[in-house]
Amino acid sequence: MRLTEHDEGAYPGALPAALPEGEHLLWRGQPSTWGLARQSFHVVGVSIYFLALALWRTVSVAAEPGNGLGDGLQAASVLVLPFGAALGVLLLLAWGYARSTHYTLTTARLAIRSGLAVPVTTTIAFELISGASVKRYGDGMVDLCFLVGGDERPSWAMLWPSVRPWHWRHPEPSFRCLAKGEAVVQRVQQALERSVAGGQVARIVPVSGRPEAAPLGVNP
């Protein structure tokens, strides 16, 4: 695995330099803005929190002697501005990260370019990938997570949000929030299979709870 500061190259926004001879680009893409907003910036949870707070404020004020529903709604209206500001900031961050994040798949490696202020590209050779898993969402969006073997430890902070949630000790670089991601899953599986000579590669397995990723090494 190689970690480098991003530098525009043959494939602007994707890889830091031109591909070496014999290596070919298979796919590149970006995460969904709305997907990142939901999964990484938790806009739905924040919205529910503010709505619950507004409901509690409305009911508690309206229940006081001499007050009515109008008084409760007026008291809760003070939450509109902070709610709008919080939601706006989260959506703006999701848009910025989705726009600045690029995923690349070649015949020999995958690459993740992420970061707003200081873009960094992490490239991972196929031989370092010991497992992979996929999380499917109801709208056809998927997360594709990679388990890096050996002594390599990618930086969770530099990869975020393109990393599997809640896996800080052993970060798993991920293609996050891919719209129509099933096609990407198939491309990655085929690329990994072609990169291994003389053996079979295990299938990319679905995430169920929080299991370890399935091995992708050569089967005996």
112 shares its domain with 7: yes
Q: What domain count does the chain have?
A: 2
In 10 A of CB 155, how many CB atoms?
13
Q: What percent of the chain has pLDDT over 70?
A: 80
pTM, 2 dp: 0.80
143 shares its domain with 61: no
Q: Find the mean pLDDT for residues 91-95.
A: 96
Q: Which of 66, 95, 124 is the last residue of a domain?
A: 95
Amino acid in the structure at residue 84:
G
How far is it, in rounded angstroms, from Cα 108 to Cα 127?
9
pLDDT in tens, 126-154: 888 888 889 988 788 899 999 887 677 78
Which residues make Cβ contacts (< 8 Å) with residue 148, sequence separation at least 6? Answer: 1, 124, 128, 129, 130, 154, 171, 172, 173
- Domain encompassing residue 72: 38-95
Given a contact cutoff of 8 angstroms between Cβ atoms, the answer to whether 210 and 128 are in contact is no
45 shares its domain with 145: no
pLDDT in tens, 61-80: 888 888 888 888 888 899 99
| Angstrom distances, CA of residue 116 to CA of 128, 140, 175 | 27, 27, 17
Answer whether residue 149 is part of any domain. Answer: yes
Which residues make Cβ contacts (< 8 Å) with residue 216, sequence separation at least 6? Answer: 129, 130, 131, 132, 192, 201, 202, 204
Answer whether residue 220 is part of any domain. Answer: no
139 shares its domain with 185: yes
